[in-house]
Amino acid sequence: MQTAFAKYEGAGNDFILIDNREGGFTPRAELIAALCDRHFGIGADGLMTLARNAEIDCSMRYYNADGSEGEMCGNGARCFALFAEHRGIGGETKFFDAADGLHTARIRRLKGTSGEIELGMIAVREIRTGDGWWFLNTGVPHYVEFVDDLEAVDVTGRGRAIRRDTARFPQGTNVNFVQITGDGTIRMRTYERGVENETLACGTGATAAAIVTAFARQPHTTDFRITVPGGALAVRFSHEQGTQTYTDIRLTGPARRVFEGVFDSENF
């Protein structure tokens, strides 16, 4: 069966997007993993499907590169919003749901195949702390650790070990190493669960890193710029002082359509 797809990227996080409003694509784990393979497939950090939703603009479902279903992906959701815009779905603000709940995304800037997208994230109401680490859920679970020299960190080796530390994190976790560079400015590198490698960016990770930086180091800062290997992201939020409650979380960054094509599932 032939299926049309589009390839998008947001700050270097790349995704396969499929318009599944007619229900013709069946997201099998082994097929998704094959499509995301960078040597034998299209190549991507994940795959998303767009489906109809009678109550809001559309529904997003996200799948990791290993074929497992993920709850949420911040950079992916921004690409998803631009994908919906390119297909004439919704208005300047898109309303869609993902596995972690309802989201909004505003098209702040649009130029041809590219745009700047502001995404609404779920609220954070609990932050776990340990010996030099913090843990929270920004749509998916995230571990955050501060480091003095980001380039010296073995992101893949240490990230893989922490990601698989089921004694502390029974469901596994994404792993973020963060270096503070100024008031409201940080650098970050991420090992992503489901990709099982370092990625060029992680939107939910940038959100987690900004919130933990505010919580642990900069309590009066609510607007952050996060530099990642693939570019830059911005995160802002509201915070109830003296609590672990962070609301009105907005993740802003670029999204771009790279190319479109058709694949035959029998070829995978």
Catalytic residue among 36, 58, 73, 79: 73
What percentage of the chain carries pLDDT values higher than 90?
98
CA angle 234-114-265, nearest 5°? 110
Among 16, 91, 38, which Cα is nearest to 197's?
38
Chain segment 129-161, per-residue pLDDT in tens: 999 999 999 999 999 999 999 999 999 999 999
Chain segment 29-69, per-residue pLDDT in tens: 999 999 999 999 999 999 999 999 999 999 999 999 999 99
144, β-bridge pairs: 134, 176
pLDDT for the residue 206: 98
Q: Which domains does the chain have, with CATH numbers?
A: 2-121+255-267 (3.10.310.10), 128-251 (3.10.310.10)
* 260, pLDDT greater than 90: yes
The question of whether 79 is a catalytic residue gets the answer no
- Structure-block tokens of residue 176: 């973020």
Catalytic residue among 36, 58, 79, 202: 202
CA distances from 201 to 227, 233, 254 (A): 9, 9, 11
* 223, pLDDT greater than 90: yes
Chain segment 228-252, per-residue pLDDT in tens: 999 999 999 999 888 999 999 999 9
